[in-house]
Each structure stands twice: as C-alpha cells, then as structure tokens.
Amino acid sequence: MDIGLITHKVDEPELITSPIAREQLLLVVPAHYRQAGYRDLCQLGVIMHPDASHHISTVLRSNYTQFRHLREFPVKGAVNQINLILEPVAAGNGFTVLPESMVKAFHRQQDICILNLTTAIYETIYLAHKRHRPVASRYQFILNALFPNQL
C-alpha cells in the first residue's frame, strides 16, 4: 500500500493517518417524502449498504430522540455497488444515509430528497500511508483531484 483513504483513525504503529477532509452524512429519502418524520422513516424502511449500519445509526441517534436501534426499521433492500445505492431510494423503496459527495453524484436528483436535520453529522476522511515511506509526489495529483479545496 502506498496510500489509503479511511474514515477512522487507526492505532497501527506502521501507519500514519492524517485528516484530509470532512464530509457531511446526508439522510436521503424518496422525493415524495420531503416532509418525512421519524414515523415515516420507520414505515419506509432502510436501504442497506456496506457502511449503512454505522451511518444511519450515527445520524438518527443525533437527530431523533425516539431512535433506539437500527432493528426498528424494516430492511427494504441492500446494495453493495456504490453507484447503485440510491437507485432503490429514488424508486421509493426506502431511505439511507450516505456521504454528501455520493449523493451529489447521483444522476436522478429529482427522484431523491435530502432531509433537513437539526444536527449535522460529519465524517472525517484520513490519508493513511506507511510510517517509514513518505507519500510519493505522484500521488498529489490524485489527492488534489479527490479533495480539490481541502489539501
């Protein structure tokens, strides 16, 4: 590994992790659920993805006093391909929580809605590299492309 992007700091003596960006986690519902409350979310159900348990629990815990556990919500689907996660949401089949960049990249913006939350939740993105090997200058292009205004 030359470089890696991770969303949590690791306590590994061989690695150095440095925060390089922060991204807001967004609660995304089908477009016709613009005024959805907690009960609506419970009825709508969740669309799971590899980070869904963590993302959904973190956002709901900070914004809904009623939230106890993700098991309260029926699972309406699961997607593990990053570019397809919002397809079932856009089709009206459930809600999910994703980083802002993923939501903004979705091609059917008219079919989804980002719910307004009282407490914004951010996820820190860390650059990881080996302690005894400096990051090669050739990676600066990649990092600038991924995080243009943050490095």
- pLDDT tens digits along 14-41: 988 889 889 999 999 999 998 889 999 9
pLDDT at 94 over 90: yes
pLDDT in tens, 34-67: 888 999 999 999 999 999 999 999 999 999 999 9
Confidence of residue 150 (pLDDT cuts 50, 70, 90): low
- DSSP H/E element including 145: helix 139-146
pLDDT score at 137: 84
CA–CA dist 59, 54 (Å, integer) = 9
Q: pTM for the complete prediction?
A: 0.85
Helix (H, G, I), strand (E, B) or coil at 76: strand
Nearest to 94 by CA among 50, 51, 52, 54: 52
Mean pLDDT computed over every residue of the chain: 91
Query: What domains can be seen in the chain, in order of their start residue?
Result: 4-146 (3.40.190.290)
Give mean pLDDT, residues 95-99: 97
